[in-house]
Amino acid sequence: MRLFVGLALPESVSRSLREIQNGLPEARWIEARNMHLTLCFIGDVEEDSAEDLDTGLAAIRVSAFDLALGGVDCFQSRNRVRAVWIGTDPAPALTALQAKVEATVRQTGLEPERRKFVAHITLARLRNQPIVRVQPYLEQYRAIRFPSFTVDQFSLFRSHLGHGGAEYERLADYPLQREALS
């Protein structure tokens, strides 16, 4: 199984993001149902290891938190763009959750992806577009901000690779703790 841990987005957030998915030639826009924020990509995992991972993730204790999205940017190499994404406002609670997830993955004997964590939601994939073709889109949406939403769970996802791109299946959800009302 090809696995990762991430945040599924509320439908209202995905709908809002769909509104800015236009005006970029040759972009393969991510469908709303596949939008997510990856906390830790793991890769191929045997079923026994996946069960251990599930047990470890279920033991994570973190409080629910608010998260705001904003600022469109891209991943590029040598002035060629592979993906366009929207980031998050600084969120210490998100960083703490990501660190706990990554530590849990390691504790279960799995090796998480080595790239540095960059909180983002992919909006589009591109086939090595020159940055000059993507720059107008980035400039248009670089300062965009969306209202915050409450992150009250994280999920274990399975990635199914196909001809039309990846499809994501949520295998398990792990609720975050609600603060007691005073």
Q: What is the pLDDT of residues 85-119, one digit of tens each?
A: 999 999 999 999 999 999 999 999 999 888 899 99
The CA radius of gyration of the chain, in Å to the nearest whole number, is 17
The CATH code of the domain at 2-175 is 3.90.1140.10
pLDDT at 180 over 70: no
pLDDT at 173 over 70: yes
pLDDT at 67 over 50: yes
Q: Is 161 left (phi over 0), alpha (psi -120 to 50) or beta?
A: beta
pLDDT at site 142: 96
Which of 2-11, 80-89, 101-110, 173-182 is least confident? 173-182
Alpha-carbon distances, residue 95 vs 109, 116, 127, 134, 174 (angstroms): 22, 12, 30, 29, 17
Q: What is the mean pLDDT of residues 11-20?
A: 96
pLDDT at site 1: 92
pLDDT at site 89: 95
At 178, is the pLDDT very low, low, confident or very high (cuts 50, 70, 90)?
confident
What are the respective helix, strand and coil percentages of the chain, to the nearest 5?
25, 40, 30
At 145, is the pLDDT very low, low, confident or very high (cuts 50, 70, 90)?
very high
At 21, is the pLDDT very low, low, confident or very high (cuts 50, 70, 90)?
very high
Full-model pTM: 0.93
Rounded Cα distance, 62 and 89, in Å: 19
Residues 6+ apart with CB under 8 A from 111: 42, 43, 105
pLDDT at 182 over 50: no
